[in-house]
Amino acid sequence: MKQLDGKTAIILGASAKGNLGQTLAKRFLSEGANVIVSGRREEELAEFSKENNCAYKPCDITKKSDCEALASFAQDKYGRIDIAINSTGWGLLVPFLETSEDDLAKMTALQFVGPYYFYQAVIPHMTKGGSIIQISSATATIMLDNHAAYMGTKAGTDHVIRCIANEFGEKGIRANSISPGLTDTPMTEGAFAKPEVVACFAREYPLGRVGTKEDIANAAIWLSQDGCFMTGQNLQVNGGLTLRRNPRAYEISEAFMASGS
């Protein structure tokens, strides 16, 4: 018997090739879950769905109606929702004083308001309890230069997760967040193209390496099992990075220069 046999999982943020959402989806499928992948790019979702024999439904997380339609789709297809994962994000790197009004509006919509809509939509369909998982970031706890809008909205949504855990625990709904550090995804492909930059980060990790998408998938599988007696927590799945620090902006720039960029 597989770990998630018969469970229905929505994975939002899976519409970019090879991203964390797609890695999560493949792992959940391998553990027996019925998986619905979602995101804004329908063509990529359709291709992934065909290749991996799973369902898909486009959704712009910043639109409440889209989130409600996604939840209704899962309900109609599988009868309930057991697992809801939000892995969307925008890695904006802009100095604090240069962050524009438009930047703030987009970031807040994507990383605070949107997740709120998503969880409001799925909770009524978790009739037999379930697991909500927010993909957060180590930078919601520790610093990274020029990343304030991203960090602040991730931290805010972490606290919303705690509120959900507190309010809906009596219905058997668990809510937790996972905080990776630097991870090889389409969002960070520029950094991973430069070994010197990756090494600049890796030296800050007590376990000696930066994280992988599979590290995050392992944690998500555990959080999704019925035997997981945890809620309202933020799992620092980042090799101990939060015991130390991220490199400063000047150190990252020096690493890029050393790489010949």
Could you give the 3-state DSSP secondary structure of residue 9? Answer: strand
Rounded Cα gap, residues 114 and 86, in angstroms = 10
Q: Assess contact for 19 and 13: CB atoms under 8 A.
A: yes
pLDDT given at position 190 = 82
Question: Is there a domain that residue 199 lies in?
Answer: no
Rounded Cα gap, residues 26 and 220, in angstroms = 12
pLDDT given at position 256 = 85
Could you report the per-residue pLDDT of 46-80, keeping only the tens digit for each?
999 999 999 999 999 999 999 999 999 999 999 99
pLDDT given at position 151 = 98
Could you give the 3-state DSSP secondary structure of residue 47? Answer: helix
Could you give the 3-state DSSP secondary structure of residue 243? Answer: helix
Band (189; pLDDT cuts 50, 70, 90)? confident
Question: Is there a domain that residue 133 lies in?
Answer: yes
Residue 31 sits in which domain range?
Answer: 8-187+211-241
Encoded amino acid at 230, one letter: M
Question: Is there a domain that residue 197 lies in?
Answer: no
Question: Is there a domain that residue 148 lies in?
Answer: yes
Is the pLDDT at 261 greater than 70, yes or no? no
> Cβ contacts of residue 184 below 8 Å, gap of 6+?
192, 210, 212, 213
Q: How many domains does the chain have?
A: 1
Percent of the chain with pLDDT over 90: 92
Encoded amino acid at 62, one letter: T
* Domain of residue 137, CATH code: 3.40.50.720
pLDDT given at position 34 = 98
Question: Is there a domain that residue 259 lies in?
Answer: no
Active-site residues, by number, are 150
Band (191; pLDDT cuts 50, 70, 90)? confident
Percent of the chain with pLDDT over 70: 100
Rounded Cα gap, residues 220 and 233, in angstroms = 13
Could you give the 3-state DSSP secondary structure of residue 212? Answer: coil
Could you report the per-residue pLDDT of 90-126, keeping only the tens digit for each?
999 999 999 999 999 999 999 999 999 999 999 999 9
Question: Is there a domain that residue 139 lies in?
Answer: yes
Q: Looking at residues 160-186, what average pLDDT do you find? A: 96
Question: Is there a domain that residue 96 lies in?
Answer: yes
Q: Looking at residues 196-203, what average pLDDT do you find? A: 94
pLDDT given at position 42 = 98
**Beta strands in the chain, from DSSP E residues, in sequence order:** 8-12, 34-39, 55-58, 83-86, 130-135, 173-178, 234-235
